[in-house]
Every structure is written in structure tokens, then in C-alpha cells.
Structure 1
């Protein structure tokens, strides 16, 4: 064989091998550029705090910036649909929340644009305790008093919430359902956000509210609200004297927990998912991330993808039943 031909073949083979090696190396390097973390709500709320807390920790672990982008609108649908339609390369992720990820698919499955399991599950991040509270001067000294009031005066007592597709609305509905009372046995009064729902209790516009701890924290510690129960399985460290729902005789309310999770678009690669599994394991042990989560009223609870999917699926089934039984509709 001609020497020049042999040299050409060798050079071509080497070039091909080099190219393949470069492609393989490039495929192994994730992340190689900044990651966009989409929050489907406006800045400053619970979801935004959770996202920014994760971004600060994950950037150090992954070696690339994690840029938080707020895409609010449609009760969280707009940001969620944006991520669902993104390339599954791991560079556009979603800060998933209870409302847009399970409550809206349960309330309006035909128009939400996605199902609860239409995303790639990367991991649960934190739980958001729900506290049922009243004004400090309320005649309801404990949760049993409130229950007795609901039973004695159907349709008279009122509660505040930040929207139909929220845990703070479904929690009182589950209480009513558990008591054998119809959805209208308590007047539900919607507000624009969790903060306004809390202020409604403080100004005595409503009788009670079951909201996220993060929305109530300052007013609870300042004595401007009287907490009755927490929906967490264990008592809260910050409020050791506050009974749990189970202790109050309503274990079913443990299903009423807000949460934050990390999702990606459908069909992300196993390698990229595994990269996040390792990263989130390190996040879970990061003292700064733990302190940040506890600072906004969250409970650190990192789970791997399979356990996250199971957790979310069970949560969806429970809330779907509540929505059906209470005949809830988006207004």
C-alpha cells in the first residue's frame, strides 16, 4: 500500500478518535455554563426565597452560577410551561411548588397544560409548614374550640387564603370535609397573597387562616397571632408548645404541607439527573443552606428523584380527592 495512503488513513483515524474523545468529554462536562432556575412566581415570596437559597449553595458545588429567573403569571402555570417546553439539557430548571405542580392539575386538568408527572424529578428540597392561627383576642383558644365553632355555626365563620389553588385554601376545606360539613360551612375569603391573608386575621376581617409558616413567622413570634396547630408530623422547634394536627385529632391534615422541589424538562439524561442527585446530597449537608431554609420557615427535606416522585404522586392523589369532594373550582 502506498505510504502516503497509509499516512492519510492513520491521520484520518487519529482525527476521528480525537473528535470522538472531544465529544465524549464535552458530554461529560455538566454544567459547562450558567443554569437558569425558573421560579413561577414573583420575587420575594416563599418560592423565590427557596430558589435563591438553593442557587447560592448549588453554584459553589457545581462550579457554575445558578441564575434565578422569576416568570410569574397564571398561578404558576406560565413558568411551569416554560420549563416543560425547554431543552432537556439541564440548563433550564424549575423551582416546583405545591400549587402549580399538583393543585392546578387537580383543579383544571384540561387547561393547565401539563400533568403532575410531566417533568423530570430531580429532588425534593424543603417542606413549608402550615399553621392554623387566629387573632390573639379570638374566643378560640385552641383548635378544638375552632372546630366546635365551625360545627355550631355552619356558614358563619370565615377564613383567609391567597387563592383557590393553594394549600391555605384546601386546609380548611379538608377540616370541613373531615367534620362531615359542606364546603360552604366556612366562608372562604381570597386575598392577593399570603401576607394579605395574614393581615386579614390581624385586622379581624376573618376569623382564622391556615397559612404557610413563612408568611406568619414574624407575627407569631411577635404575639400578633395565636397559633392553634401545625400540620407537620412533629412539633416545630421554634414553637415547641404548638400541638401538631395529629395531636389535635386530625392526622389527615399532615397531607397539607407546602413544599419546594427541583424539576427539569421531560426526558433529561440519566447522567445529568445523577449529577443533580450528587449535588443535592451535598446541598443537604450545607450549613448555610440549612440555615437559610430554616430562616424563611422551611424544613430541610432533600429526597432523591424516585422518592420525590412518590411523595409528589401521593400528595397529588390526596389533593385531587379533596378538590373533588369539596367541588372546588377556579374562579
Structure 2
């Protein structure tokens, strides 16, 4: 007659022990190294930002945060890997606009859902692009470039870091707003794209600051404008494209994400650590060296930001009739 109560009591004890164990584990987090997936190859802006953050978090959290570069397919390979990881706080993803907004907005066949499969931790930094042209192109301003492209429909080409890259979408938005016809020439990454522009294979490119400055400073490329809503702190002398084409804003962003289902207290701890280190002068200087500006947000603000970016780029992709499958 006492069997049922005895079993019930035993189950309650086990449940209590599991709860205590779970709380203790969460309080001890992190107790082993954390992997940060950067879904781009080594050497680019995302990699640089990710490594700066990983080193700062290593010092702040007291455990090693290891960058794991998983580049390919405009960021979708590494992002998919992160979406499938265990939601225990030991795998994080450096999210960027291409795999987390542009590709999902395009309707591309992805093995992840950028909203459903990730828990936002917070925005880390943003980076404007620089509109550059080969010096042989007879233009010195955005107005000049628009006039030239209008006079030569289908004859002015622009480089990008690949189909679905931010560099492409910045140019596609430019085309839409300026009502010009320019030809897209995709390359396998920002390095090859800027090299091709310097060589004169293509005429126009929206590139990262660190990628183009060595060439603008020596006259091998001509900088016309930056792609943010307001003038860049890194390039204060350059106007924005938006000063000529209102509504043009194409900014790279870097955000820390975790697999959906990661415990909220782990998300909170990671957000607090990220906000603290990104707010230091040391990290701000390091980010500036790779062309990024600190831009911290809460998890809730990041979630809203991603939704807004999805809506924005969905309109551009549809209007430009783009497909990235």
C-alpha cells in the first residue's frame, strides 16, 4: 500500500536534485572553453571583430573563448552549424547582416531560421562601407557617378564579396534609389573584390574601411562616400551616400547569438560581459583598427533590429529581383 507514495516521494527527490544541479551548473557557467563560430574566413572584418571580442570575453569570463572560422556560402555554413549546436552556452555565433538578414529576406533555402533558431545576446559593433571607384572612372562624387551610370546604362560594373553579401546589397540599393543600371560582378570575398577594383577589372565597389584605405591613401582607389546614415567617425571628411540619395543606408553589423533554448541566465551573463568589454576604451580602439564602431544593445533591442533588417532587405531583394539559391 505504501509503494505509490514511496515512488512519488523518490521522484520528487530526484526532481529536486536535478533542479539544484541545474541551478548549480548555471551559477558555475562558464566552466569550460566557449566556441565562437565566425561564419567567415580568417582575415576579414567579421573575423577581426570576432577575435577582439573573443579575447576580451576570455579575460572577462575567466575561461577561454575560441574563434572557430567556418566560412562559405555568404556565411550560411557557419550560421547553420551554430543553429544546430547544443543550447548550453558553450557555442556562440558571430551574426552579421548577410546570413542573418539578407539571405533569409531573399527566400533562399536555408537550413536555419534566423529568428526561431537563435537567442539574441546583443549587438557588438557596426561598420560603414566606403563607396570607391577606380581612378580611371571620371567621377569625383556620388552625383558624378549617378550621372555617368545614367549616360552608360549597363556599362558600369560593380564588385561584391559574393552573391548576397552586404557589398552587393549596398550597390543594389544604390541602383534602386539612383535609378541606374549597373552590372554586378561577384567575387569570392572582400579581398578579391578590392583587388579586382584596384586592377581596373571593375569600376565601383562598396568595401570595408580597412580593406580600401591602403589603396585610397595611395591614390589607387578614389573614395566617394560612406554608406551609413550619418558621417563616419573613421572617415569624417567623406559625405554619406544618403546626402545625395536619401534613404540609402547599408551598414554591416556584428552581433553575438546563441542557439535557441540557451538558458536565460546564461544569455544575461553573456550580455553583461559583452556590454562591459565593448564599452572599454581598449576594445573601442581595437575595433576602430578593423573599421568598426562599438554599438552595444540589449537582447531585446537586437531582436527588434534583426526584424527591421529583414523587412528592409526583403524590399530591396524583391525590387531588385535577386535570388541567392
Show the 5 A alignment for 1:205-244: 205-244=201-240
What's 2:34 paired with? 35
Q: 1:252 aligns with which of 243, 247, 253?
A: 247
Whether the 8 Å CA contact 1:163–1:169 is kept in 2: the answer is yes
Where 1:253 maps in the other structure, the secondary structure is: coil
For residues 83-133 of structure 1, the C-alpha deviation after alignment (integer angstroms, 9 at most, x for no partner) is 111111100010111111111112244x21122213100011111211111
Q: Is the 8 A contact 1:134 1:228 kept in 2?
A: yes
Distance 2:35 2:234 in 1: 33
SS, match of residue 138 in structure 2: coil
The structure with more radius of gyration: 1
Structure-2 residue corresponding to 1:330: 324
How big is the alpha-carbon RMSD for the aligned residues of Structure 1 and Structure 2? 2.2
Superposition pairs for residues 1-331 of structure 1, below 5 Å? Answer: 24-109=23-108, 111-118=109-116, 119-181=118-180, 185-247=181-243, 249-254=244-249, 256-330=250-324
**1:116 and 1:313 in contact (8 A); partners too:** no
Residue 156 (structure 1) shift: 1.1
Cα distance 1:15–1:106, how it changes in 2: closer, same or farther (>3 A)?
closer
User: Is the CA contact (8 Å cut-off) linking 2:178 and 2:245 kept in structure 1?
Assistant: no
Q: Is the 8 A contact 1:124 1:308 kept in 2?
A: yes
Unaligned runs of 5+ in 1: 1-13
The Cα shift of 1:19 comes to 8.5
Question: For residues 318 and 37 of structure 1, what CA distance do their matches in structure 2 show?
Answer: 28
- Residues 139 and 66 (structure 1), Cα distance of their counterparts in 2 relative to 1, 3 Å cut: same
Alpha-carbon spacing, 1:191–1:19, altered in 2? closer, same or farther (3 Å):
closer
Per the TM alignment, residue 199 of structure 1 is displaced from its structure 2 partner at its CA by 1.8
Classify 1:73/1:246 alpha carbon distance in 2 versus 1 (closer, same or farther; 3 Å): closer
Q: How many angstroms apart in 2 are the aligned matches of 1:240 and 1:229?
A: 10
1:10 match: none
Q: Structure 1 residues 230, 17: CA separation in 2 closer, same or farther (over 3 Å shift)?
A: closer
Q: Distance in 2 between matches of 1:277 and 1:238?
A: 26
| Unmatched runs of 5 consecutive residues or more in structure 2 | 1-12
Counterpart-to-counterpart distance in 2, 1:252 and 1:145: 19
Give the direction of change, closer, same or farther, for the CA distance of 1:258–1:20 in structure 2 (3 Å limit). closer
Structure 1 residues 156 and 277: alpha-carbon distance in aligned structure 2, compared to 1, 3 A threshold = same
Residue deviations 1:215-262 (CA, integer Å, cap 9, x gap): 212222333221111012232233221001232x223221x1111110
Distance (Å, rounded) in 1 between the aligned partners of 2:264 and 2:19: 20
Q: Which residue of 2 aligns with 1:9?
A: none
Residue 82 of structure 1 and its aligned partner are, at CA, apart by: 1.3
1:4 corresponds in structure 2 to none
Bigger shift: residues 95-104 or 22-31:
22-31
Counting matched residue pairs gives: 313
Conserved? CA contact 1:57–1:288, under 8 Å: no
Question: Contact between 1:132 and 1:228, CA under 8 Å: does it hold in 2?
Answer: yes
CA distance in 2, matches of 1:19, 1:86: 23
Secondary structure, aligned partner of 1:131: strand
Contact 1:128 1:214 in 2 (8 A): no
Q: Could you give the per-residue CA deviations for residues 46-83 of structure 1, whole angstroms, max 9, x where no partner exists?
A: 22111110011011111111011112233322211111
CA contact (8 A) 2:126 2:251 kept: yes
Kindly state the Cα deviation for residue 191 of structure 1 after the two structures are TM-superposed: 1.3
